[in-house]
Structure formats: C-alpha cells, structure tokens
Structure 1
Amino acid sequence: MAVTIIWFIWMDRNDAKYRNITMNHKRIIARTKEKINILYKANLFKNCHFRGFKFVIKKLCNVYVENKEEAVSKFVKWIKPKESVIKINTDGSVATGKWGCGGILRNADGILVFYFAGPLSSCSVPFAEVIALYQALKIALSKGILRVWIEVDALLVYIFLILIILVMLRIFIFLGRLKVCFLRWIMWFLIFGEKVMLVLIFWLVWVQV
C-alpha cells in the first residue's frame, strides 16, 4: 500500500514538472484510493497486507472488512532455569461461557516434569490466573519440589503475589513482637510471680481472719 501511495505522488510530481499540471493532494488521495479498491477487489491485496496500518486503509479503502479472526504472530522465548530449579509456567483463560486454567513444570533441560489443565467455574481472568498458579504450586509441593521459578503473563498476579509477601512479612513481624512480649511476660512472672503469690496468700488469710 505504501508503494501505491508513493507511486501516485511520483506521477503527480511528473505531471507538474513535464505537463505543467499543478500538484494536488486530493487528486493523489483519490487515485490511491481508487487503485487500492481495484487491487482489493481483484484479491491482489488481502487483510494481512494491511497489518500495522489498518487505520490508514479504513480511510482510503471503503471495501475493507476487518477480519477479527486474523492470526497475529507473536515471538515467545522460553528461558531455562538454573540447575535443580523447576520452572513453572501457568495461564488462565476466560471466553464467552468458558473458563479454564493450565500450567506446565519443566526442569533446566526443558524436560517436562508435570503438566495440568482443566475447566473452572464462572470467574474473572485474574482469578483464573491465580488458581492456575495455586494448582501449580500445590503440585510442586506434592512432588517435593521446593526450588521453583514462577513465570506468569498477568501483571495482576505479580501484584497479588507481592501483596501476599508483604502481608506475610507483616504477620511475621507481628508474631516476632508478640513472641518478645510473651517472653518478657514469662520472665516477669518468674521474677515477681512468687512474691505476688505470697502477697495473695497473706491477703486471703487476712481476709478470712
């Protein structure tokens, strides 16, 4: 399509130089639009040729119909983990009336250790991603796998994991402080407990008398 536009710009420039016809951008657009429509109707232009600049073709061509099922190429690279580490890749998917999740566990050589997939009840995409990760970790623990590298494609899952880590950290800090308070209370009881008990005994005896 870009070549077609350049072609008609060049033709209009030649008309201006050799035929003394003033260049006109509207004429260039009209010629380009007409040519693209002809090529499209002759199946010389296809939807895949317009990938990356569909907004332009929508303005120039009135016969273009967007193909919603058009395949889009995506380069995916699997980075292997370190030795004795198992890499976990999970994914959750939600479609119209369908929900599911799955995952795969592989070692440093890329050899399959375990995989799983299954349907879910009605849920959101983040929930499906979290369930997939939960199932993968559950399987890893059942297999005695403790060193793992988790890889998911949802930012919300990363945020969820960070929040869990922060909450657990706060809990550990709270438990540590509680432990210190408990130890101080025990030390106080060991030091002053006997004296307090004697005072209580004398007080009870005095009250009865």
Structure 2
Amino acid sequence: MSGHIRNVIPMLIFWFIWLARNDSRFNNIRMNHLAIINRIKEKVFALFSANLITYKNFSNVFSTAEEFGIYNLGSLHSSGSRWSNWAAPNPLCFKINIHLDLYGDKWCIGGVIRDSVGNYIAGFAGDSKALDELRGFLVAVNHGLSVCINLDLYNVMVESNFLVDPTMFLVHDGTSCGHPSFYLRRHNMGLREVLNCSFNVINVEVNSVARALSLFGSSFNAVVDLNFDLLPANIQGLFFLG
C-alpha cells in the first residue's frame, strides 16, 4: 500500500466505519467505536507484517508506529541475521513465545514453539475465553505447556512481554481458594512439575510472531493448534524475520 501513514489511516477509518454501518443496518450489530479502532490497528499491523506498508510510510512520525504495535523501527532489517530479534534457547531446549491481546471483547492468544536452532515446532492461536488479562495469559501458558508435553518436549522456556508476577503460578495466592484463577494456576503447577520450565519477560517487538498469531486467532472462537503450512503467508514471512 503506497502513501504516508497519515493518508492511509483516513482511508481505513472511512472503510471500517462503512463496514460497521452496514453491519448495523443489515445485521443488527451495534456500532462500537472501540471495535472500529481495534480493527484499524489490526489492519495496520497486518499490512506491516505482510510488508505492504514499511518503515518509510511512517517517516517523520515514527512514534505513531508504536500505537499499532510496531516498535524499534529499522531494527528488523538492520541485520541480515534471521535471529536478529529472537534469541534461540540453549541446545536441547525449546522456547514458547506467547502473546495476549484484546480484540473487540475477546482476549486472544498466540503462541509459537521453536527449537534451539529456530525451527518451527508448533503454533496455536485463538480466543482464550478469558474475562481478564491474567486469566488469558494463564490460558496461553497452559496451552503451550500442554502442547510441549504432548510432543515430549521437556526442557522449556516461556517468553512473553506480559510482566509476569511469579505468585500467579502458585496454587494458593494468599487470598482464598475461590480465586477465579485458582484452577488455572493448579493446572499450571501440574504441567510445570512434569516439565523443566522457566519464564522470561521480553520486549514486545521481539515477540512479533506470537503477536501476529494472536491477531490471526481473533477470527477463531477457540484456541486451535497450527501447523506451519496452515499459517497465513504474512505470518510465515514474519517468522523468518525473527
């Protein structure tokens, strides 16, 4: 898509307002300005992921890119290295990158599992069915760890840009056993007892593949596992950028 982002955004605003108007008129779906804003953000990120808009579309307004989840402009292409952003785990280890985002009224997750040389092992994406960010994050972690156990992967690092409070993984959170995340935490404890598991917090720009998967997952009604050949071309291309 050609043109500066200042010209692209008004076109997207017009387009998504028109779609929302049609949904309201013909499908009895109430117009929601927050949903329209989210759809615009999703579209810009998808266009960037597919290389249909690039850094030069943000010339002189680089700070605007962060509103769309695009960080450290120039860093993706500053090196010819495939892993200029994503750091491989130690040999015989596996890494799960997960991301959680709110799309409309759904906390959607995305995750990718890679080995120590960066090979794609498995991926997943979809609606976590969570009512808040913490539960959505726990759903993402539990799903990723469950996939690892099913694939006999027992030395695992979980990476996310979610600021992890270690107490969230304890069975008892210091309040009551009726805490809404209690059963998710207990399930997580059971999974981690089987796995040699660690957690790491990273910057969101390093988590680009998982973020793109969470956006892709916003079209699903549940979390689904994804083989590499089932991924959209733009996510496959983003995977090879790091």
Identify the TM-score tier after normalising by the shorter chain.
Answer: 0.3 to 0.5
Greater Cα radius of gyration, structure 1 or 2: 1
Higher relative contact order structure (alpha carbons within 8 Å, sequence separation ≥ 6): 2
The alignment's TM-score, normalised by the length of structure 1, stands at 0.43
User: Counting helix residues as a fraction of each chain, which structure ranks higher?
Assistant: 1
